[in-house]
Amino acid sequence: MDILKQLQKSPERGIALYEIDSTDGSIDERVKRYIASTPETRRVCTQSDLIDYIHQDFFSDVLKDGIKRIMLSDTMASMLEETWGDRRKEDGTRNYIDQYTILRGALNFDISKVIFNLGYRAKQQMRMAQREDTNGNGKEWVVYGSGEKKIFEKEEPEHVRNIHMVIGDISASGASIRDGLEKFVERMEEKHAEFRDEHNNHDAKYTIGSITLTTIGCINTEREVQKFVAENQQYFTDDFVFNLLYLEGRFGLADLDGTSIPNQKPGTDFLPGVGEGVLISPEFEKHWLSNPIYPLEKCIIYDGGGKRCDPQVALENVQDHFQKLQQLSSENGETLYEALKKRCPYLMSNDIDEWRATHPGWQDKEAIPDSVVQEVINAKNSMLDKHLNTHKELMNIYKERIAYLQRLK
């Protein structure tokens, strides 16, 4: 079982950082899992109309600001500096941290400025393109193009180093992370062969000292991470560490076998209240249950690449979701609370112990005291008190939401 352990909580700085502790020893000790919550990342994971060129704030800028707040927090900055080592080379220049990008959604995770603020310099590596597999069942993502050849471009044997990689992505199936890391290792092997064949240098080899992955993801993400670590140990240093940082939580995924939640895309849509491996921060849940719109959303993030690259399409996707919900609710006559309980089955509970029972990861009362759980319950009740438990109220919420989205066009 996974339990949240508090590492840092600084309300005045807007940061809460937890480590995910495994009580059954099922996680490789080199894989360190964290959940971080900030005002910015909570907005990103609840405000579906936060889209580049549409909203006053850009989705990508807000996400980067949240990641910056996390990475520069006292605890995380110290951990990264300890992992990455010396900031300066012997000649006084900055040491590099390799930033690896998977197009399109990972563009939103660019932290080159954060790396500089920590005293290093970001070395931009491959930008590998990715798209949904339209030849299959629509649930897989594949890598295409030859962008991977840009890794270590123009580097010679004297440039080999111990790699400290940073990477970010929105990961549902985990395919983008799996394929991206596999491509990176493949290119590293190709470069080693080049050093041997063209330079007759058999000793020039890259090693990997650490990988830091920031993601909005689910349990599939860490499964792929675990697999990668197990299968590629020959490339790692003795003190290798894989830092896996979830933003706001480890979300559930719409069920591939079908879901009782209306208008969900199986294998793609993230759900905070239900699903395998759900483990969200109390800060996120308090925010998520403060507005009925948030639980009624199709997904906590929709398409991150679309939010940056196809803003009008991204906005239409949000509007289309609420129009479909409006139609479905009109046909079945459900009330607001009935609609909300499909996404948050424990919605009506007001008992702290019952609430903890629905959140296995919240068992450490030092990390998450009763007072924090009560704050979540109070926020939920405050939201419910503002709305009637009627079908008419639900339809009014849909109507107002659709009208608002139309005004953004």
Compute the distance between CA of residue 310 and CA of residue 85 in angstroms, rounded to an integer.
39
What's residue 52's pLDDT? 87
Q: Give the SS3 label for residue 210.
A: strand
Compute the distance between CA of residue 288 and CA of residue 294 in angstroms, rounded to an integer.
6
Pick left, alpha or beta for residue 338 (phi over 0 → left; psi -120 to 50 → alpha; otherwise beta).
alpha
On whether residue 292 sits in a domain, the answer given is yes
Q: Give the SS3 label for residue 314.
A: helix
Place of tokens 């890259």: 206
Question: In the predicted model, is pLDDT for residue 314 greater than 80?
Answer: yes
- Count other Cβ atoms within 10 Å, centred on residue 82: 9
**Length, in residues, of the chain:** 409
Greater pLDDT, 363 or 150: 363
Question: In the predicted model, is pLDDT for residue 146 greater than 50?
Answer: no
Mean pLDDT calculated for residue range 179-187: 88
Question: In the predicted model, is pLDDT for residue 280 greater than 70?
Answer: yes
Place of tokens 């300890």: 82
Q: Residue 138 — pLDDT band, cuts 50, 70, 90?
A: very low
349 CA to centre of own chain: 28
Measured at the CA of 229, the angle between CA 224 and CA 231, to 5 degrees, comes to 95
pLDDT, one tens digit per residue, over 46-61 is 999 999 888 778 999 9
- Structural domain range at position 288: 278-407
Greater pLDDT, 2 or 25: 2
Compute the distance between CA of residue 221 and CA of residue 171 in angstroms, rounded to an integer.
6
What's residue 263's pLDDT? 87
On whether residue 126 sits in a domain, the answer given is no
On whether residue 22 sits in a domain, the answer given is no
On whether residue 306 sits in a domain, the answer given is yes
The structure's pTM equals 0.93
Q: Identify whether the C-beta of residue 174 lies closer than 8 Å to the C-beta of residue 220.
A: yes
Compute the distance between CA of residue 152 and CA of residue 31 in angstroms, rounded to an integer.
26
β-strands 207-218, 141-144: how paired?
Answer: unpaired
CA distances from 188 to 102, 152, 159 (A): 17, 8, 13
On whether residue 345 sits in a domain, the answer given is yes
- Choose among 409, 384, 390, 247: nearest CA to 318: 409
Q: Which two tokens stand for residue 240?
A: 């290798």
Compute the distance between CA of residue 74 and CA of residue 58 in angstroms, rounded to an integer.
27
Number of domains in the chain: 1
Q: Give the SS3 label for residue 82.
A: helix
Q: Which two tokens stand for residue 178?
A: 């799996």
Compute the distance between CA of residue 186 and CA of residue 180 in angstroms, rounded to an integer.
10
Least confident segment among 87-101, 102-116, 308-322: 102-116
What's residue 227's pLDDT? 95
On whether residue 17 sits in a domain, the answer given is no
On whether residue 367 sits in a domain, the answer given is yes
What's residue 107's pLDDT? 77
H or E element: which one contains 125?
A: strand 121-132
CA distances from 94 to 90, 91, 167, 232 (A): 9, 9, 20, 28
pLDDT, one tens digit per residue, over 62-72 is 999 999 999 99
Compute the distance between CA of residue 59 and CA of residue 69 in angstroms, rounded to an integer.
16
Q: Identify whether the C-beta of residue 336 lies closer than 8 Å to the C-beta of residue 393.
A: yes
